[in-house]
Amino acid sequence: MAVIRRRRSFGRLLKGLIFLIVSAIVLAVFVYVPIFTLQEIKLIGSKYLTAEDIMKVGNIYMGEQLFRLETDEVQSRLAKDLRIEEVTVRRNLPHTLEIKIKERLPLATVQCDYGYLDLDHSGMIIDSYKNLKVMQIPIITGAAVHDKYIGDQIDDALIRKILEFLEMFSEETLNNLSEVAIIEENYIVLYSATDHPVQIRIGKLERLDEKVHLTEDFLKDLVANPKNIEYVDFNYRSPFIKFAE
């Protein structure tokens, strides 16, 4: 009986040893075989950031072993970049790293002490510059931001309300707006980005869904069929159009 038990123990030991050897070989194949080296970055959801940007920020290099890449570490490095709001990273065998991102996109520009700031939908400052750039986003006038820098959040309640309003517009509509003017605390005027800018009087930031719908329809028609209009007023329940004389 003792001999039988020793044989069984030896058999189990041998099977365990074989399993470890096979596992080590399989692991070595996955880690060291050239087919599993990084050859492609598949970037999903990007509009402004390029694969080269992602590689630089994520400290990623073509040709490195795919299974030596710590996806959690790459994701952590990318998440620290202010241009990226959300990111997920995963391997896609045999040679691809798939990176899905949600960018922080500039929604509006506002003046500051030293120039201009670009804000995203949450009020975060994602860029700053001394001279005003030509961009397809509106500038907020009638307000200025003080002692704020890249990475800071805007705490001005009215500016944040304006950002909330602008976020409701389609990208096409935002491209057709040049300015959001704060005339008074409770009176907002938009300006079209057409050859002859038209005032779009919004008034108080209330009934936002309705005013967004009216503004988008008006701008689509204005771009498709230019008219000599001085202003349109959506401040009241019944919109009013004033034609230029």
User: pLDDT tens digits, residue range 31-46?
Assistant: 555 567 888 899 999 8
Of the listed ranges 3-17, 94-108, 138-152, 197-211, the one predicted with least confidence: 3-17
CA separation (Å) from 239 to 205, 210, 227? 15, 11, 17
Phi, psi of 78 (to 5 degrees): -65, -35
- Which of 217, 120, 214 lies closest to 166 in space, CA to CA? 120
Domain boundary, last residue among 103, 125, 143:
103
Question: Which DSSP string corresponds to 64-129?
Answer: SBGGGS-HHHHHHHHHTSTTEEEEEEEEETTTEEEEEEEE----EEEEETTEEEEE-TTSBEEEEE
The confidence score (pLDDT) of residue 5 equals 53
Residue, of 209 and 3, whose pLDDT is higher = 209
In a domain, 4, yes or no: no
What gap in Å lies between CA 68 and CA 40, rounded to an integer? 15
Average pLDDT estimate for 225-229: 88
pTM, two decimal places: 0.75
Looking at the fold, whether 53 and 138 belong to one and the same domain comes out as: no
CATH of the domain at 41: 3.10.20.310
In a domain, 62, yes or no: yes
pLDDT over 90 at 179, yes or no:
yes
Can you give the residue range of the structural domain that contains 87?
A: 34-103
Looking at the fold, whether 200 and 170 belong to one and the same domain comes out as: yes
Whether 107 contacts 159, CB under 8 Å: no
Phi, psi of 145 (to 5 degrees): -105, 135
Sequence-ordered alpha helix ranges (H) in the chain: 2-32, 51-58, 71-79, 157-167, 171-175, 208-224
Strand pairing class (240-243; 96-103): unpaired
Domain boundary, last residue among 85, 103, 121:
103
Domain boundary, last residue among 53, 82, 103:
103
CB atoms within 10 A of CB 145: 20
In a domain, 24, yes or no: no
Average pLDDT estimate for 115-143: 89
Looking at the fold, whether 93 and 119 belong to one and the same domain comes out as: no
What's the mean pLDDT when you consider all of the chain?
86
What gap in Å lies between CA 116 and CA 24, rounded to an integer? 58
In a domain, 9, yes or no: no
Domains contained in the chain, number: 2
User: pLDDT tens digits, residue range 95-110?
Assistant: 899 999 999 989 999 9
The confidence score (pLDDT) of residue 7 equals 54
Residue position matching structure tokens 């391997």: 91
What gap in Å lies between CA 195 and CA 176, rounded to an integer? 11
CATH of the domain at 136: 3.40.50.10960
Looking at the fold, whether 187 and 238 belong to one and the same domain comes out as: yes
What gap in Å lies between CA 105 and CA 167, rounded to an integer? 11
Give the H/E segment covering residue 206: none
Cα 81 to chain center, whole Å?
11
